Amino acid sequence: MPLLRAESEDHPRSAWLHYRLAWALDGLGRPDSALAHARAAWDLDPTRERYLSELMKALAMLGRGDEVLALAGFVRGGGAARYYAASAGDGASLEYLLRTASADDDSAAADACCWLSVLASGDRAADSSIALLRRCVSLEPGDPFYRCMLVERLADAGRTDEAVLNLEVLRRERRRDPAYWQAAAAVAGALGDDLLRTWALRRCWQSRQTAAASRELAWGLYSGARRALSRGDSGLAEQWLTEAGRLGGDSAVTASCESLLVLMGEFESRAAGW
C-alpha cells in the first residue's frame, strides 16, 4: 500500500495507479479512502469500464446508491459496472443482464447469470440463485470462480451432497485460491465441522489478508468458540476467542470475544471457589 501511494503521488496523471489504489483500499474495507482515487481514475480515462465499476463499487459500499444510479448511463457492457447499476435500481441494466443471460456467447451469458445470481441472493431467492450458478458452470465448466460460488450457495441452502461433489471437482483440479478456501469453509460449516471450517477460513485469510477475509475468520472463530463452549471444551473456546480478538477485523466481534472471555473467567473463578 505505501508503494502504491508513493507511485500515485509521483504519477498523479496515471489512471491505472489511481485504479489500483482504489481497488486495494476497497478490498481493505476503506471505500471512503478509495473514492477519490476511483473517481480520479475514471476522470482521467473514462473509456475504461473497470475504472467506472470501481467508482460505483466505492459509492455502493458507502451507501450512496443515488450516485451509483446517476452513473448507470455511462455503462456500456456487462460485468461489475452493470451489476452495480442494476442493484441501484437501473431497470435498463437489469434488462441487459436478463437478455445477455440467454445470449449465444457463453462467456457473456455466464457473466450475466453470475451477476443475476448475486442480485437474487437471499433465502427466498436461493433456488433461483443456485439455478443461475448451475448455468454458469455448465456454460464455463473450466472457470473455477463460478463453481466456487455455486458451492457456497449450495452449502448455504443445506444442499451439502451437491456442494461436496462440486468441491471435489475443484480439489481434483488443484484449486487452492481464496475462493476455493471460502467454498471449503462453507461446506465444512454446513457439515458442522468447526475444526475444518476454521482451518479453511485461516487459509483464505492467509492467501488474501483483506478486511473481509479477516472479518469472516474472526466471526468464524467466535461462532466456533461458542459451540465449543457449549460442548464443554473451554480450552478450545478460549484459544479461538483470543485469536479472533487479535485479528481486529471487526470491532463488534472483538467486543463479543472480550465479553465472552470475561464471562468465562468469572465462571471459572466462581467454580474454583466452590
Which residue from 88, 132, 129 is spatially nearest to 109, judged by alpha carbons? Answer: 132
pLDDT at 4 over 90: no
As a whole number, mean pLDDT of residues 148-170 equals 96
Cα–Cα distance measured from residue 224 to residue 219, given in angstroms and rounded to the nearest whole number? 8
- Asked if residue 82 lies in contact with residue 114, where contact means CB atoms within 8 angstroms, the answer is no
pLDDT at 3 over 90: no
Residue 186 has a pLDDT of 96
- Cα angle, residue 77 at apex, residues 145 and 49 outer, rounded to 5°: 85
In tens, the pLDDT along 45-62 reads: 999 999 999 999 999 999
pLDDT class of 185 with cuts at 50, 70, 90? very high
The answer to whether domain 1-90 has CATH 1.20.120 is no
In tens, the pLDDT along 70-88 reads: 999 999 988 999 999 999 9
pLDDT at 209 over 80: no
Residue 174 has a pLDDT of 82
- Cα angle, residue 223 at apex, residues 218 and 225 outer, rounded to 5°: 95
Cα-based distances in Å from 52 to 19, 37, 213: 10, 11, 25
Cα-based distances in Å from 55 to 10, 18, 189, 243: 22, 11, 34, 34
pTM above 0.85, yes or no: no
